[in-house]
Amino acid sequence: MPVNAERTVCLCGRGLTKVFGLGRQTVTAVDHVDFDFYDGELVSIVGESGSGKTTLAKMLLGLLSKTEGEIHFHGQPLDLSTAKKRRKYWKGIQAIFQDPFSSYNIFNKIDTVLLDCIRMRGGKNLKMEEKIALMTEALAFVNLKYEEMTNKYPFELSGGQMQRLMIARIFLLKPKILLADEPTSMIDACSRATILDMLLKLRDETNMTIIFITHDIGLAYHISDTVYIMEKGKFVEHGTADEVILNPQAEYTRRLINDVPKLNETWDLSTVG
């Protein structure tokens, strides 16, 4: 994104906090985080296991209530108090999760999954040929063939194909924001590169904001405009990918960077164990 381009904040958080449990048994999973995510930006949230990434994602999606703080969506305080408001919000924000197997209703065929998306985008009254044309286009976007997918169930696909089907759904739904919570951690390296390419292509073609959650700082550097580093529920640093990774300020960020194995270095196993 050009540095001096007019930038609009699509999602903003102030003092956002989630505390699980009651009394002495509490865990502050997300601890007063502030953020501004802009239209069309690819933002990565990077942190180790347990740092609060998924908890934050679930609050952003309205799947988990917040303990404290505020979320604004396009300048308006997020209000999900009624089913109608939630439905409207979910047209604007969609998610892809780590485990593609859990993302589908096992009784729905692939056609049903995609037709639901077309219906949600107001295409209920289109002719069947038009719906098939849309499904074919969405599947072609992720290198899947409609003829090979029709009448199949998602569980008949490989993990990588299932994640691609998730992206085909996003292609049809065209949300303003896509939240991707470690979407590539359960698939092989080759499928992973394909999925990342598709996410980048989706962003370029639709100006979607992508919030990419990962523990992999090397991957975040590779794909992101902006990086937020999360440690124990707090954002310890954020900035452009270059600023954060080439010139890290927080000790925690330096540690994450040092933990990345370098492919051209010989493994030193003397320190293991």
Ligand X SMILES: Nc1ncnc2c1ncn2[C@@H]1O[C@H](COP(=O)(O)OP(=O)(O)OP(=O)(O)O)[C@@H](O)[C@H]1O
* Residue 184 contact among Mg ion, ligand X, none, beta carbon within 5 to 8 Å by kind: none
φ, ψ (nearest 5 deg) of residue 69 = 100, -175
Q: Return the one option of ligand X, Mg ion, none that residue 55 interacts with (CB less than 5 to 8 A, by type).
A: ligand X
Which of 17, 44, 55, 163 forms a contact with ligand X (CB under 6 A)?
55
**CA angle at residue 203 from 197 to 204, to 5 degrees?**
90
| Per-residue tokens: 154 | 């998602």
Number of residues that bind ligand X (CB under 6 A): 13
Q: Which residue's CB is nearer to ligand X, number 31 or number 41?
A: 31
Residue type, 230: M
At residue 235's C-alpha, the angle toward residues 5 and 61, to 5°, is: 75
Least Cα distance to 41 among 13, 90, 6, 78 occurs for: 6
Q: Does 29 bind ligand X (CB under 6 A)?
A: yes
49 binds ligand X (CB under 6 A): yes
Span 25-54, contacts to Mg ion by CB under 5 A = 53-54
The two structure tokens encoding residue 31: 């601890």
Does 103 sit near Mg ion (CB under 5 A)? no
DSSP 8-state class, residue 267 = P
User: What mask, x for binding ligand X by CB under 6 A, covers residues 146 to 185?
Assistant: ----------------------------------------
Residue 63 interacts with ligand X (CB under 6 A): yes or no: no
Q: How far is the CB of 257 from ligand X (least distance, A)?
A: 17
For 112-241, list the strands marked E by DSSP. Answer: 177-181, 209-214, 226-231, 234-240
